[in-house]
Chains A and B, each alone.
Chain A
C-alpha cells in the first residue's frame, strides 16, 4: 500500500516535471516564432486592419493584395531573380572547388593542413569592414565591381571555410579501401574525387549546397557596398531600400516581400528535419 503510494506520487511528480518542461519549451518557441508569425499575419491583413490599433494574430479578413503589389513591383521581382541567380551559381561553384580541397585535407597529412585550418579559424576574427575597401579596389582592377559575377566570387570565398570544414569531416569517414580499389582499376585522382567520393557524399553535399545558397541569398553587407546599378541589387538590399521609402501603406507589402525572402529558409527546414532524424548532425560535429 505504502509502496504503491510512493510509486504513484513519484510518477505524478515525473508527469508534472514533464508538463513543466513542455511548457518551458513552448515559452521559448513563442519567443522564437512570434516575430515570424506576426509578420506572416501582417502580410495577409488589409491595410486598414494593420492600422486599426487592435492586435490580432489571425487576420479578420484575409487579403492577397500585398503579394500582388510585390509582384507588380519590377525592381523587387528583378532583385528576387538576381538573388536566385547569385545563390545558385555560388553554391555550385563553392562545392565543386571545395571538394578536391576537402579531399586533400583529409587524405594528406602535411604542414599545409595546419595552414589551411589555421586560416579557416583566423578568417572568422576579422570584421568585414577591414576587407571591404581593399576588396573593392581588387574587384575594380578585375572589372568586377557592380557585376553579379564579382558578388558571386566574393560569396564563394566567404562560404569556403564552412563548406570545406564540413566536407572534410565527411570525407574522413569514407573507407580508403574504396579509393585503392578504384586506383587499381586505373582511375586517376580527379576521377576518384568526382566519381567515387562525390556520389558517396551526396547528403553532405546537399547540405553544403543549401548552406551556401542560403548564406548568399541572405547576405547584405557586401551586396550593399559592391552593387550600384538598380537592376543588379539583390533581395536583401532591395528590402532595406524598400523600408527607406517610409510610406505608411508599405507595411503590408514589406511584410509580404519579407515572407517571400524567407521561403528558401523554410524549404531548408523541411530538408533539415530529415537531416536531423537521420543523425547526420552528429557526423558533422564529430568531423
Chain B
C-alpha cells in the first residue's frame, strides 16, 4: 500500500516529464499532420468541390468509383507499376548488395557512387530521364540509331508501347540504391562465423545464400518490401515530370488520378475518396504480407 502511494505520483511525474519533452514535436505534428489527415479522410466522405460547401455524402463517392472506368484503369496501372518496380528493385538491390559485400577492392567507392540517383532531387531525376528519352536530343535514340537498331527516333514517353517500360526503367533506377543500402547494412550484421561453419561443412555458395543469407535477411527484406510497396504505390513526382499520366491516361497512376481530380477538375471530395481507397489497399497489403512474414519467422 505504501509502495503504491509512492509509485503513482512518481510515474505520473515521469509521464509528465516525457510529455514536456515531446511537446515541441507534438504540437506541429498534430496541427500540420494529424488534424489535416483526419479532415482529409473525412472529406473523402463528402461531395466537396473546390470553393464549394462541404456536405457529408456517405458512400456516394465510392459508388461512383465502382463505375468509373478511369479509376479502374489507374488502379490497374498502379498495381502493375508497384509490383514490377518493387520486384525489380528488391531483386537488383539484393544482387548489388551481395556484390558489394564480397570484400572486393574499391567497394567503398562503389557504395558511394551507387547512391547517386537516390540523393538527387526527384524533379531532376525526371528531367534527366526526359532528356535520355527525348526524341530529338535523347541519348537513347541517338545511341540506338547509331548502332543501327532503329531507323527513326522513338518518342518513348508518348508511345503506347513504350511509355510503361520507360517509366519503369526510370522508377527502378531511382529505387535500387535505397534497397541496396538497406540490404548491405543487413548483410553486415550476419556473423561471418555462420559462413565459416557452412564452408567447413562443404556447403556451396548458393546453398549458403539460401540457408544462411536469405533467412537472416528476412526481417530487413520484409521492411524493404513494405516500405517500397507504399512508396511506389504513392509515387507522383517522377511520373508527373515524365508523362503527366499520358499517353491517353496510360501511365496515370492513382496519385496522379487523385491529383487531377482535385486540382484540375476541382472534385476534392472524390480525390480524397481515391486517397482513402489507396490507404485501405496499402493497409490490406501490409496486413497480409506482414502476417505471412511473421508467421514464417515464428515457425
Contact = CB atoms under 8 A, between A and B. Distances in A.
Interface in B168-215: 173, 176-177, 182, 185-186, 188-189
B61 interface: no
Interface stretch (A59-67, A69-77, A176-184, A268-276): A268-276
Interface in B29-49: 29, 31-37, 39-41, 43-44
Given A98-B25, A127-B279, 4 more contacts: A39-B124, A104-B21, A130-B272, A276-B111
B143 interface: yes
A277 interface: yes
A258 B124 contact: yes
A55 B18 contact: no
Contact of B127 (A105, A119, A258, A269): A258
Contacts of A269: 112, 115-116, 119
A32 B177 contact: yes
B150 interface: no
A108 B36 contact: no
Given A126-B37, A157-B33, A218-B122, A133 B262 contact: yes
Interface stretch (A2-10, A46-54, A199-207): A46-54
A235 B124 CA distance: 10
Given A22-B104, A239-B124, A125 B282 contact: yes
A286 B186 CA distance: 9
Interface residues of A, number: 87
B264 interface: no
Interface in A86-141: 97-98, 100-101, 103-105, 108, 110, 112, 116, 119, 123-135, 137-138
Nearest to B40: A130
A285 interface: yes
Contact of B37 (A100, A134, A277): A134
A128 B234 contact: yes
A34 to B, nearest CB: 8
Interface stretch (B67-75, B94-102, B154-162): B94-102
A286 B115 CA distance: 20
B100 to A, nearest CB: 7
A285 B186 contact: yes
Contacts of B44: 130
A239 B224 CA distance: 31
Nearest to A35: B128
A125 B280 CA distance: 9
Interface stretch (B2-10, B79-87, B131-139): B131-139
Contacts of A33: 113, 116
A167 B213 CA distance: 29
17 contacts: A25-B100, A32-B113, A32-B176, A33-B113, A34-B139, A101-B22, A104-B17, A108-B15, A126-B40, A130-B41, A130-B276, A133-B40, A189-B17, A217-B121, A221-B237, A265-B119, A269-B116
A58 interface: no
A262 B121 contact: yes
B249 to A, nearest CB: 17
B52 interface: no
B33 A134 contact: no
A243 interface: yes
A110 B255 contact: no
Contact of A127 (B92, B134, B258): B258
A110 B10 CA distance: 13
A126 B277 CA distance: 10
A18 B122 CA distance: 34
Contacts of A153: 28, 32
B143 to A, nearest CB: 5
3 nearest A-B pairs in the assembled complex, by CB-CB distance: A104-B21, A55-B142, A130-B40
B56 to A, nearest CB: 15
A32 B117 contact: yes
B243 to A, nearest CB: 13
Given A51-B137, A134-B43, A160-B29, A262 B124 contact: yes
A32 B120 contact: no
A105 B142 CA distance: 55
Interface in B192-250: 227, 230, 234, 236-237, 241
B14 A108 contact: yes
A227 interface: no
A36 interface: yes
